[in-house]
């Protein structure tokens, strides 16, 4: 794993050594950031179910103002913290070992972009995405990574499915508010 572009371009990131973790491929990561390339700079990014933190680190490398990395796994938080430090983003990020629901219930921040990639087939994606809508700015973007066979709703509260991207067995669903 590596940072694709921006100020940390080329930095190698440590992966998690676990069969339970499925890192976002570089192909999918590049596609996500191509889809939101003009929306990242100066924004607050939430990497929920952060794993190694590669998505939030990519956002910071591309000019995001701040990133929150949230995961409930000790191993994920340890590796994510190391990757944030290696990339030089300690001062513009916060790595938290928290359950997604507990974090979303307690945080006062409003996010510009949220990336959600929970463990597949656990039922966490839709319930967490619905809760994330309450913490988004009106101009916010919610990005959900999920298996192709998992159908996402057309609406998440007042956010509407803007676009679906398919990459093999992986799907990216992007939600925005209608203006």
> What is the pTM for the complete model shown?
0.94
Return the CATH superfamily for domain 26-149+159-177: Vaccinia Virus protein VP39 (3.40.50.150)
157-174 pLDDT, tens digit per residue, is: 999 999 999 988 999 999
Higher pLDDT, 179 or 104: 104
Only one residue has tokens 């972009």, namely 113
Counting residues of the chain whose pLDDT is more than 70, the rounded percentage is 97
Angle at 136 between CA 22 and CA 9, to 5 degrees: 50
What's the token pair of residue 134?
A: 């309450």
Q: What tens digit of pLDDT does each residue of 107-131 get?
A: 999 999 999 999 887 889 999 999 9
Sketch the domain layout of the chain as residue ranges. 26-149+159-177
Give Cβ neighbours of residue 125 (< 8 Å, ≥ 6 apart).
Answer: 116, 118, 144, 146, 150, 152
Cα distances (Å, whole numbers) of residue 89 to 36, 39, 48, 56, 99: 21, 19, 17, 10, 23
Q: Which whole number is the average pLDDT over 2-14?
A: 93
């Amino acid at each position: 794993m590596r940072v694709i572009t921006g100020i940390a371009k080329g930095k190698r990131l440590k992966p998690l050594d676990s069969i339970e973790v499925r890192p976002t491929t570089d192909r999918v990561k590049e596609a996500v950031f191509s889809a939101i390339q003009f929306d990242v700079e100066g924004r607050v990014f939430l990497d929920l179910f952060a794993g190694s933190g590669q998505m939030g680190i990519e956002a910071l490398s591309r000019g995001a103002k701040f990133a929150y990395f949230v995961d409930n796994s000790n191993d994920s938080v340890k590796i994510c913290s190391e990757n944030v430090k290696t990339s030089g983003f300690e001062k513009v990020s916060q790595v938290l070992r928290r359950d997604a629901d507990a974090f979303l219930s307690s945080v006062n921040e409003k996010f510009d972009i949220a990336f959600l990639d929970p463990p597949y087939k656990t039922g966490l994606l839709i319930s967490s995405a619905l809760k994330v809508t309450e913490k988004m700015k009106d101009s916010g973007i919610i990005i959900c990574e999920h298996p192709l066979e998992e159908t996402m709703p057309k609406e998440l509260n007042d956010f509407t499915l803007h676009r679906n991207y398919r990459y093999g067995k992986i799907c990216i669903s992007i939600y925005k508010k209608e203006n």
